[in-house]
Amino acid sequence: MKISEHIRIYKRSLKYLFSLSRTHMICLILGSILQNLLPYIPIYFSALLLDALYESQSADRLLLLVLLTVGSVFLFSLAGTWLSSARSQASNEMYRNQHWEQAEKAMQMAYASVEDPEVSLLRSRIAMESQTGYNLWGLVYATENLVSNLTRILMSLTLTLSFFFLDSVPASEKCFLIAGILAAAAGMVFSSKKTEDLTNRFYGECVQANLFCEKYSGYMNHYSSGKDIRLYDMSEGLLSLNHREGMLINQKKAALDMKASAMQAANQVLSHILRFGVYMILIKAALSGGISVGSIARYVSCVMMLIGAVSGCCAAIQRIFGNNPYLKRYFSYLDIPNPMYQGSLTVEKRDDNEYYVEFRDVSFRYPGTEAYALRHVNLKFKVGEKLAVVGENGSGKTTFIKLMCRLYDPTEGEILLNGVNIKKYDYDEYMSIFSVVFQDFRLFAFRLGENVAAGPDYDREKAVRVLNQSGFGERLASMPEGTESFLYKDFEDSGIEVSGGEAQKIALARALYKDAPFLILDEPTAALDPVSEYEIYSKFNAIAGDKTAIYISHRLASCRFCDKIMVFDNGRIVQRGSHESLLADSCGKYHELWHAQARYYTQEDFGA
């Protein structure tokens, strides 16, 4: 990475940190300056006090020096405590804002990116690096160190500058001291650089192992895994896998610590040799009367602090440079573009329900793949019609719905609403006209009513009504808290566990609660028992009302309740028509699927 890129990333990162919490960053900078000024106050006044004692100055003078020392330290400490408290509060604000921006990014990025496994891995890796002190949190730590060490360098130079103008100290000894300071600082810089490189390599090599350990721990700690772990005797295997990855990390960390310790020991030897040399130079000067006793303490302390500050400053800069690749990865997630054209047209509100949706020669392939999931799909239907989309798994049914809802845009062709390309409509407004229950729907560990309304505020009567419509009424009646009951036990021990079929009914109720013109049900009865399935079918027209209802299913029993049936096969619409006309075509795909399933159902099962 070039220096210019390092600078660009660092500037962007600082700006980003200030945007998360300006108060935190101001308190960090001022607090670091104050904290590192504190040690120099007693050093300066102690030197004056020693000289005053040596010179037998008055008690008033000694008392004044003591009061100045204690008072200055007290005031600076008080200010530092206040800044530390303010920073602690602002730190929580920054932490929350950072997490919110991450969550907001996940919600606002294109659905194609959400489904992309590389994006998911990137998000997990960034989270892991944050936990181990890199990216933003590494920057906070490095910036605090940089400010601290720059303050110490400035103060050390201020208090030692007079040493280099002493006539009693030969120029050769001054040069020796400068050379020693530079050598000690260079040694510390070198060791810091090597340690930083080793640490970066260590964390880079352990990313996969850390992710595995986190996943294994998640499996073992979540209550939903408890039954399977016990019934299938998985505990030993999971613990073994976790132990193996953990041992791998520990072995690498031990090797890293040994190398870092060896370099630190060498630095300590050099530092103490320099300290000895400084003492000898200053004692010699003091014996010749060139400097006072107090100056010896001041110069020794400040020279040693200067060496540490120079090396610390270089280490902080190296830490910043070493952290910049992590920050680059962090920002690469925030910079993931959303290629979905947002549009600006308002979806027309029509009283006559004359809405037409048209697929015009639509083809689509998922990002990063060559195979087409849909090819040359052409169809047109009117709002209010009941459509069935059938076909074998992988035939393109769900992809068809994702395109219509604009979770993806077509690779080729266009989709029209009342003759206008759907890309031209305001994206959020267009999305609002669809109520969808996908196969992989998600319920949250919130209250039942909040799940139905998809938000914290809801109309209780409406929630109860749609839950009854979806077939959940009997279970709802048995719940003491009704719609206020929590689902699952993530947040509440009293949370209720629902079966797969019950969860599907709640998801259907959520779609009905939204009351959108388009009702799309993707395998809505897959987890239901035959009785509940037939109940949904028999109420299908009542549930759908005057909405456009699109029913996706591989169970052909649902098709008999629909006006039109579209048969998908290998990404194409191979047949369309009514149940009777398609069944009459003995050479068609529908006829083949119907009779393949007929072996598992009686005529009564189909509601005939």
Question: Any idea what DSSP says for residue 395?
Answer: S
pLDDT-derived band at 529, boundaries 50, 70, 90: low
For residues 397 and 91, give the distance between their C-alpha atoms in angstroms, rounded to a whole number.
48
Question: Any idea what DSSP says for residue 345?
Answer: B
pLDDT digit string, tens, across residues 132-169: 788 998 899 999 999 999 999 999 888 888 877 777 77
Residue 532 CA: distances (Å) to CA of 21, 501, 523, 537, 598: 53, 9, 14, 9, 19
Q: Please state the CATH superfamily assignment of the domain spanning residues 356-606 in this structure.
A: P-loop containing nucleotide triphosphate hydrolases (3.40.50.300)
Strands 412-417 and 420-421: antiparallel
Position 599 scores a pLDDT of 64
Average model confidence (pLDDT) across the chain: 83
291: left (phi over 0), alpha (psi -120 to 50) or beta: beta
For residues 405 and 522, give the distance between their C-alpha atoms in angstroms, rounded to a whole number.
13
Higher pLDDT, 565 or 393: 565
For residues 99 and 107, give the distance between their C-alpha atoms in angstroms, rounded to a whole number.
12
pLDDT digit string, tens, across residues 305-343: 887 788 788 888 888 988 899 999 999 999 998 887 777
Question: What mean pLDDT comes out for the span 559-587?
Answer: 87
pLDDT digit string, tens, across residues 44-67: 888 888 888 877 888 888 888 889
pLDDT digit string, tens, across residues 487-520: 988 888 888 888 888 888 898 899 999 988 888 8
Is the CA virtual torsion 217, 220, 221, 222 positive or negative?
A: positive
Highest mean pLDDT among 150-159, 376-385, 435-444, 489-498: 150-159
Q: Assess contact for 17 and 138: CB atoms under 8 A.
A: no
pLDDT-derived band at 606, boundaries 50, 70, 90: very low
Is the CA virtual torsion 214, 215, 219, 223 positive or negative?
A: positive
Residue-range domain boundaries for the chain: 3-334, 356-606
Strands 434-437 and 386-390: unpaired
**Rg (Cα) of the chain, in Å, rounded?**
36
**535: pLDDT strictly greater than 80:** no
pLDDT-derived band at 231, boundaries 50, 70, 90: low
Q: Assess contact for 390 and 593: CB atoms under 8 A.
A: yes
Question: What mean pLDDT comes out for the span 267-287?
Answer: 78
Position 604 scores a pLDDT of 46
The candidate with the shortest Cα–Cα distance to 318, out of 201, 148, 196, is: 196
The topology (CATH level 3) of 3-334 is ABC transporter transmembrane region fold (1.20.1560)
- CB neighbour list of residue 432: distance below 8 Å, 6 or more residues apart: 347, 516
Position 605 scores a pLDDT of 47
For residues 335 and 513, give the distance between their C-alpha atoms in angstroms, rounded to a whole number.
35
Lowest mean pLDDT among 8-17, 117-126, 302-311: 302-311
Structure tokens at 128: 């892991």
